[in-house]
Amino acid sequence: MSGAGFPGDRPVPSGPSAGTSCPDSFAPRRRVVSSAGVRGESEIRDVLHGRLRAAVFVLSLCFLAFFVVNAFSPGVLTGILHLQGVVVVMLMAATALLSTGWKPSSRRLRIMEAVVFGGVGVYFIIAIYLGMRLRLGVEADGAWQLADFLKSALSCMLLIIYTYAIFIPNDARRAARMIAPLALTLLVAPSALALTTPAFRALLGTHPALSFENLGEHALLLTLAASTAVYGAHTINRYRAEVLHSREMNQYVLIRKLGAGGMGDVFLAEHSLLKRPCALKLINEKLDQNPTALARFELEVRATARLSHWNTVEVYDYGRTDLGAFFYVMEYLPGCSLQELVDRHGPLPAGRVIYLLRQACGALNEAHQAGLVHRDLKPPNIFAAYRGGQYDVAKILDFGLVKPIHDERSSVLTLEGVVTGSPLYMAPELIVRNHEPDARVDVYGIGAVAYYLLTGRPPFLGPDAMAVMIAHARDPVEPLSAVVPGVPPDLEEVVLRCLEKDPADRFQDVVSLARALEACSDADDWSAERAAAWWRTHQPIEAADQPPPPPDRETDREALDSLNHVDFQAIARPGPREPLDPELTIAEDRGHPARLLPHGYDATRDRSPSESS
């Protein structure tokens, strides 16, 4: 047991001065490598490259067909024919270029896409303008010819719009940004003609062929086509995203969903090469569009990655999927959160609370020494995990609200509403803002979590979030022994001191809090052995979450022998990958064993404190 009051056999800072006297000991030992993003980027590029090539090829065939038909039709302007010929040659050249080994960046591909479709739009403006002027000159049935011409121009434009929507991968917003100007090109030429040609103006709205009802119908059709094209692009994009999310995310294979939080879904996943299980948190699509939420997400990842304490969840990686969704990967924690532990088994005995929270203090001490305050400590954010062959290893996660103590920028980032964090466990100074939040906010958080673990309810309850927050700021907390008889007085005193309204009246840091917990009479009442016995009887950890068995030496030797006969060329040229089959469920496909914790677990089961000990 360390002098700072933190249990566990891992190297942890051993005193209040650990961080300040030797800041290097808190230097980041892990680095977040966003390799996933790198691979995702090349995948996006490849998808875009192939799709753009197909789109340009289809367009060049369509334009070639019209060029051939027009070349043999009388009455087509030579100027338009020449222009069409130029467009055909350019589209074919672009198809040929995209079919060579040339590997442009995504940005260049997007520029090329804009040039191709923008060029087609410009061609349409010129061709429609010239074509309309030509037909206007025909004396007898000019207006009817003009209307027919507009109708066929409309059909061609619909073909182009749908080609764009089907082939080019886009989200709805980007699809709209490209499709709307394409659709509007149909309005540009008639508007220009109306401005420059009085004869056309005279026909507009008066001649039955150019009546406003007729033109309005065209406009309606165009608007509907453009809207369905945008919606279609969005749907294709989302369906593809769902298929990808359901199976693979860069180099991670998703096995099953672990749960969902405020920022997004969490999946049990496996690195495809390392075969290491991990938890992958995928940020919500809605938040994806929100720069503040994204900044908060990155802050969460970076803040956690700066910490190296055994009782802080380890971050392995972060990046973006090929569709641009953010995710990060952390160590997978077999076990459950303290919230789930109390939900399933009722309030915890004093010794176990002390055992878990002293470890949490160790992790927080490192964060505080590094200038970070968690600010959102709550039972769901602390895990009782099975790690390194030990049970009840406390792990702090979700550093989403971590705030560097003197970082103005990040304090703004956490301000998405009036206050951030869970109202049930929130320190008064976060609500009243009469005091700059510092590490003592987390001392309050630990006290509130301890209150919940010992009594099964948070320190303050109320009809809504505001009522609870006001209670934190104003009302005296009900003594724990009044809620649950039998809470040891010394532990109750520690918890109530953590929950003092004025930070000056609390423990001034988590080191003194850990020492006070260690000094409680029940501190030695729980141990690694007791934890192991409890988990075995109450909630066995599945074999899938146990360390893998030692390797079979015979198999190893065979594997080594086989290395002498490796077909390196085959490795350099991997065969085609099996297509994704959205019908398969992830778990079935992976042949993964059943869940660690069954869904629909009866929360009222095993509720008595005695049973949970």
Ligand X SMILES: Nc1ncnc2c1ncn2[C@@H]1O[C@H](COP(=O)(O)OP(=O)(O)OP(=O)(O)O)[C@@H](O)[C@H]1O
Beta bridge partners of residue 387, listed in sequence order: 390
- Provide, rounded to whole angstroms, the least separation between the CB of residue 268 and ligand X: 7
Residue of 279, 439, 494, 514 that binds ligand X (CB under 6 A):
279
- Our CB check for ligand X shows the closer of 23 and 259 to be 259
| Minimum CB distance to ligand X smaller for 279 or for 514 | 279
Indicate left, alpha or beta for 403 from its phi (over 0: left) and psi (-120 to 50: alpha): beta
Q: Which is nearer to ligand X, 22 or 260 (CB)?
A: 260
Neighbours of 521 (CB within 10 A): 13
C-alpha 393/C-alpha 411 separation (Å) is 30
Rule CB under 6 A: choose which of 270, 398, 509, 518 binds ligand X.
398
Q: State the minimum distance, in angstroms, from the CB of residue 332 to ligand X.
A: 5
Nearest 5°: the CA angle 424, 425, 431 is 85
How many residues belong to the site for ligand X (CB under 6 A)? 19
Q: Could you tell me if 520 and 354 are in contact, meaning their C-beta atoms sit under 8 angstroms apart?
A: yes
Q: Which of residues 373-392 bind ligand X (CB under 6 A)?
A: 380-381
Other beta carbons within 10 Å of 575: 6
Q: Does 28 bind ligand X (CB under 6 A)?
A: no
3-state secondary structure of 249: strand
313 forms part of the interface with ligand X (CB under 6 A): yes
Residue number of the CB closest to ligand X reads 261
Tell me the β-bridge partners of 320.
326
Taking CB under 6 A as the rule, does residue 452 contact ligand X?
no
For 468-488, letters b (16+ CB in 10 Å) and e give bbbbbbeeebeebeebeeebb
Among residues 7, 131, 319, 400, which is the contact residue for ligand X, using CB under 6 A? 400
- Judged by DSSP in three states, 279 sits in strand
Under the binding rule (CB under 6 A), the answer on residue 259 touching ligand X is: yes
Residue 376 is a catalytic residue: yes
**281 in a known ligand binding site:** yes
* Catalytically annotated residue among 171, 288, 343, 376: 376
Regarding 333 and contact with ligand X (CB under 6 A), the answer is yes
Range 337-366, binding ligand X (CB under 6 A): 337
According to the binding rule CB under 6 A, does residue 258 interact with ligand X? yes
Please spell the DSSP secondary structure of 426-465, one letter per residue.
--HHHHH-SS---THHHHHHHHHHHHHHHHSS-S---SSH
CB of 324 to ligand X, least distance (A): 20
Q: Single out the segment in contact with ligand X by CB under 6 A; choices: 176-184, 229-237, 246-254, 330-338.
A: 330-338
Binding ligand X by CB under 6 A: which of 98, 127, 210, 263? 263
SS3 content of the chain, % helix, strand, coil (to 5): 60, 10, 30
CA distance 377 to 251: 31
3-state SS, 478-499, equals CCHHHHCCCCCHHHHHHHHHHC
Asked if 222 interacts with ligand X (CB under 6 A), we say no
Catalytic residues: 376
Give the annotated binding-site residues for ATP: 281
Binding-site ranges for ligand X (CB under 6 A): 258-263, 266, 279, 281, 313, 330, 332-333, 337, 380-381, 397-398, 400
